[in-house]
Structures are given as C-alpha cells and as structure tokens.
A = this chain, B = another copy of it.
Amino acid sequence: MVSISSDVIRGYNDTMILSILMNEPSYGYNISKQIKSISDEKYTIKETTLYSAFNRMEKNEYIESYVAEADPETGAKKRTYYRITDKGIEYYKNKCDEWDLTKDVIERFIEHKGE
C-alpha cells in the first residue's frame, strides 16, 4: 500500500495549513478536518504536528492567534483561532513558487508506470 511518508510531506504541512487560512481564520480541529477532506482522506495531519506548526508559525509571525470564548448557543467550545498575517501570505506564495520548482526537479528522477 502506497502512503505518504512524513519525510516527503515535511516542510509542506505549514503550507497546507496556511492555504486553509488564506480563506478565513480557523482553529486546530477544523483545519485538521479540512486537510483530510481536501486530500480525499489521503492525508491526515497528526495532532502534534498541527499544534507544533501553529507554535512555529506564530513565532515566525506567519499567523496570529485569538481566543474565541465558548458559545452555548451554537455549542462552540472555547477555542484558539489562527489568522494568516501579511508575512504569512508572503511566505505561502513563496512556498508555492518553491513547490513548482521542486516538483519539476523531482519529476526528472521519477519513473512513471507505462513509460
């Protein structure tokens, strides 16, 4: 069974998270579910990976956090939201460019079936 190894995705967890935050601020559990869903269940980010990415990115000022208190009406629990910063947007765009370059290079060393 072919599955995605952490060494491969390494360095792109941050990018995936930021890509979701490009749309709107969100929080851990929701981001995790979105990543799973967008990837058609092909990739599930580990909880610890996710939260350590939050810490790293907040330290780097790619994201900012704010706390939303629990709302008994909607049933929402108290949670920490993250919002992407301008620096984060910049970083995200850079990673996208880097991805295009990297993909192109790695492809040259890959054999595809039926070639």
Contacts and interface: CB of A to CB of B under 8 A. Distances in A.
Interface of A: 2-5, 7-12, 15-16, 19-20, 22, 38-39, 42-43, 92-106, 108-113
B38 A98 contact: no
A98 B9 contact: no
A94 to B, nearest CB: 7
A113 to B, nearest CB: 8
A31 B52 CA distance: 36
A40 to B, nearest CB: 8
Given A8-B10, A10-B10, A98-B8, A109 B15 contact: yes
Given A11-B7, A12-B8, A111-B96, A2 B101 contact: yes
Contact of A19 (B2, B101, B109): B109
Contacts of A98: 2-5, 8
Contact of A11 (B10, B95, B99): B10
Contacts of A11: 5, 7-8, 10
